[in-house]
Structure 1
Amino acid sequence: MIPQTNPKATYLEQKPAIDAAIRRVLDSGWYVGGEEVAAFEAEFAAWSGSRHAVAVASGTDALIVALRGLGVGPGDAVITVSHTAVATVAAIELTGATPVLVDVDHYWTLDPERLEALLANWPAEAPKAKALIPVHLYGQPAAMPALQAIADRHGLAVLEDNSQAHGAMLGGRMVGRWGKVAAYSLYPTKNLGAIGDGGIITTDDDALAEIMRALREYGWRQRYISDIAGMNSRLDPLQAAILRTKLTSLDHDTARRQAVAARYTEGLAGLAGLALPAVRDGAVPAWHQYVIDAGARRDALQAALREAGIGTLVHYPVPVHLQPAYKGRIVLGPGGLPRTEAAAGSILSLPMFPQLADADVAAVIAAVRRIWG
């Protein structure tokens, strides 16, 4: 069986170094915060080119802490997409703010034209739009120059959801370096994944970084004294030590993802009715996922690949605004979300992880071509 993703393969590839990092933490006697977390933050900040990195317990918490650091709360609206992991929208509501969802473009990221139309017709009685969360979905950079320009005109703070795009580039600039702040998930299947949960936030803003560090630990600036109302969201030293090890190979792993994606694109070209991932001009995706659009044949293709021993997944089968917890109560942008709703029935994620062997990539290509006919 060729799995769609395989976080254990990353561990096995770096097993001696990861095991040594774990032993180092266990032997240290320091199990919350401390030098390992501080070192990971410094190393991640350097890797991303940011002044600050603030580690937290999950990618969801990274979004919550970043939003709260920006002053987002009850009475505010935050604009994002529905074609995303539910965490993006859940984080907005967990701050007390109101999510407003717009449709995606054909790169599966937030559509600047739909955003402009939404802001041009913002109801006077609606909560004030305070922040914008572009999601670099599947490792594909969103249209940041256009989105940032629109946000600047309308006074919106930009928080990039970079959970699937560690190391992606746009116009020679790393994603996560466009907005005021960026949030990353470190979930095991992510491009940089812990062996457990984790998240991290980057920013160049000194004051914002200080606020976020306080927010993640009860609002403490001085131990046991809460200057502001905070929360408990700490990355533990075990995960920090593992992530420090994995960070050393992240660029190499990204290059391998890019090589796999290039082989898929070359090998699957020319199949009528099968749409391969579009890449924006000037973009270098991080290829968290390689997502094809199989139209009405998606379910049949997925079933046939499963029979052939090839794992696939649908990211995501139900848009957030149509899920039971959110359906009928989430504000949508003008024109609704037709691309988002169509995608749920047609997209399919092929196997994608850095340790995917060339022979397995070739087997996936051959199987898709044989099944597609």
Structure 2
Amino acid sequence: MIPLVDLKTEYETLKNELNQVIQEVLESSCFILGPNGGKLEKEISQYIGVAHGLGVANGTDALLLCLEALNIGSGDEVITTPFTFFSTAEVIARVGATPVFVDIDPKTYNMNPDLIESVITEKTKAIMVVHLFGQPADMDTILAISRKHNLRVIEDACQSIGASYRGKKIGSFGDFGCFSFFPSKNLGAYGDGGMIVTNNGDLYRKLKLLRNHGSSERYVHTHIGLNSRLDEIQAAILSVKFKRLDEWNNRRKELAGEYSLKLAETVQVPVEADEREHVFHQYCIETNQQDQLAHFLKQKEIATGIYYPIPLHLQKAFSHLGYKNGHFPVSERCTKRILALPINPMMTQKQQDYIIAAIKEYFGDQPCHQLK
């Protein structure tokens, strides 16, 4: 089976270096809030081009802590997209606020900024913008709206580390940038992990308290926080992988370019918007035969993924918001058409050629030869 993500080959490639740093952490007996976490925070904040980085337990907590740092809660509204992973809106509801959805751009799958102002009310406190699948959202327009209406901006960049908008790294535009280090991400840990980046020193200091039970001094608690700390083993692993991030993102872009070149006449391939560097966390095609093609490729031992089968406004957990089928037609249409193909830095040219041939065989373009 050709996997969507090949973590086994990735580990074999880095095995000696990874085992060494893990052993060093074990021998140090320092597992929480140690030097590896601090090193990674510095590396990533400098890479993104911001003043501060803060390691946390996962990408979901990163988003949650940002909302809490901004005192967003009951009675407040946060605008976001219904076409994303559940955690984006989950954290808004978790702090007691209301997620308010706007539909997506049919080309980039990101929030359509032309729809944002129509849902702003006196209760609106922030925009949580998602850079989906590795492609940046339209930050110029979104930031202009946020300034006009005095709204905070939280970047959910959990799928897009390394991506750029007009030459500037994603995560550096809003009040906060949030990253996930879930194992399948472009920069993935061997467990959960996440990071928040910001240029705001006061908010950074508050976040630092909140991630550690609201405490800066042992047994002294000035805030109600939570336990959300990136552990030392994961930080050490991530520092090893971080050195390869740009190389691996470039490989993803090469694979995406090959897919698009060879499949453009067969299926709808991703659109890369102008002045945006897409890092292809996912490579998603569109077809009106989503399920049938996925089944065919499975028979050919090719993994695929559907992102996302149910948009957030139609999830049972958000039924109380009153959204129905037809409210966000672009998002609803995409759930029935998008299919993610394998794309990861470990993929060989032979594997990709086989996938392309299989898709063309399904659509009757040419025979597909078995992968040897």
Q: What TM-score range do you get, normalising by the shorter chain?
A: over 0.9
Match of 2:146 among 151, 161, 173: 151
Kindly report which structure 2 residues correspond to 1:169-208, keeping only aligned pairs within 5 A, or say none: 169-208=164-203
What is the CA–CA distance in structure 1 between the aligned matches of 2:161 and 2:233, rounded to whole Å? 21
Counterpart CA distance in 1 for 2:323 and 2:7 is 35
In the aligned structure 1, how far is the partner of 2:242 from the partner of 2:263? 31
**8 Å CA contact 1:100, 1:331 repeated in 2:** no
Local SS of the residue matching 1:8: helix
Counterpart Cα distance in 1 of 2:21 and 2:322: 46
Query: What is the identity, as a one-letter code, of the residue corresponding to 1:93?
Result: A
Structure 2's unaligned 5+ residue stretches are: 365-372
| Identity rate, percent | 38
Match of 2:346 among 343, 355, 358: 355
The residue aligned with 1:111 is 112
- Looking at structure 2, the residues matched to 33 and 8 of structure 1 have their Cα atoms a distance apart, in angstroms, of 28
2:125 aligned residue: 130
Letter in 1 for 2:363: W
Task: Please give the alpha-carbon distance, in whole angstroms, between the structure 2 residues aligned to 1:155 and 1:10.
Answer: 44
Confirm or deny: 8 A CA contact 1:100 1:332 kept in the other structure: no
Structure 1 residue 24 corresponds to structure 2 residue 24: yes
1:236-275 pair list within 5 angstroms: 236-271=231-266, 274-275=267-268
Residue 173 of structure 1: CA displacement? 1.2
Which amino acid in 2 is paired with 1:147? I
2:209 is the alignment partner of 1:214: yes
Is the CA contact (8 Å cut-off) linking 1:102 and 1:336 kept in structure 2? no
1-structure distance, mates of 2:12, 2:317: 38
Per-residue Cα deviation, 1:201-260 (whole angstroms, up to 9, x for no partner): 000111111000000001112222111111111111110110111111111110000000
Q: Is the 8 A contact 1:56 1:234 kept in 2?
A: yes
How far off is 1:4 after superposition? Answer: 1.5
Distance in 1 separating the partners of 2:135 and 2:321: 25
1:341 is aligned to 2:336? no
The correspondence for 1:284, drawn from 248, 273, 277, is: 277
Say yes or no: does 1:305 pair with 2:297: yes
Partners of 2:185 and 2:125 in 1: CA distance: 28
Deviation at 1:155? 1.1
Corresponding residue of 2:368: none
Cα distance in 1, alignment partners of residues 45 and 33 from structure 2: 17
Give the direction of change, closer, same or farther, for the CA distance of 1:320–1:78 in structure 2 (3 Å limit). Answer: same
Distance 2:112 2:30 in 1: 46
Q: Which amino acid aligns with 1:204?
A: N
Q: Distance in 2 between matches of 1:244 and 1:263?
A: 30
1:293 offset after TM fit, Å?
0.7
Does the 8 Å CA contact 2:133/2:281 hold for their aligned counterparts?
Answer: yes
| Partner Cα separation in structure 1 for residue 150 and residue 99 of structure 2 | 17
User: 1:322 aligns to what?
Assistant: 314
Residue pair 1:290, 1:350 contacting (<8 A) in 2 also: yes
Write the distance in 1 (CA, Å) between the matches of 2:69 and 2:215: 14
Matched ranges for 1:78-89 at <5 A:
78-89=78-89
Q: Given that residues 192 and 246 in structure 1 are in contact (C-alpha distance below 8 angstroms), is that contact kept between their aligned partners in structure 2?
A: yes
**Equivalences for residues 61-72 of structure 1 within 5 A:** 61-72=61-72
Corresponding position of 1:53: 53
RMSD in angstroms over aligned alpha carbons?
1.3
State the 1:331 CA deviation.
6.0
Give 1:228's aligned residue: 223
Matched length: 362
Query: Structure with the greater relative contact order (CA < 8 A, sep ≥ 6): 1 or 2?
Result: 1
8 Å Cα contact 2:314/2:323 also seen in 1: no
Confirm whether residue 37 of structure 1 aligns to residue 37 of structure 2.
yes
Cα distance in 1 for residues equivalent to 2:31 and 2:117? 47
CA deviation after TM superposition for structure 1 residue 332, in Å: 5.5
Q: Structure 1: 5+ residue runs without aligned partners? A: none
Structure 1 CA distance for aligned equivalents of residues 322 and 79 of structure 2: 10
For residues 348 and 372 of structure 1, what CA distance do their matches in structure 2 show?
15
The normalised TM-score by structure 2 is 0.95
Q: Does 1:366 align with 2:357?
A: yes
State the Cα distance separating 1:330 from its structure 2 match. Answer: 2.6
SS in 2 for 1:159: strand
Could you tell me how far apart the structure 1 residues matched to 2:172 and 2:100 are? 24
How far is the alpha carbon of 1:76 from its aligned partner? 1.1
What TM-score, normalized by structure 1, do the two folds share?
0.94
Deviation, structure 1 residue 187: 0.2
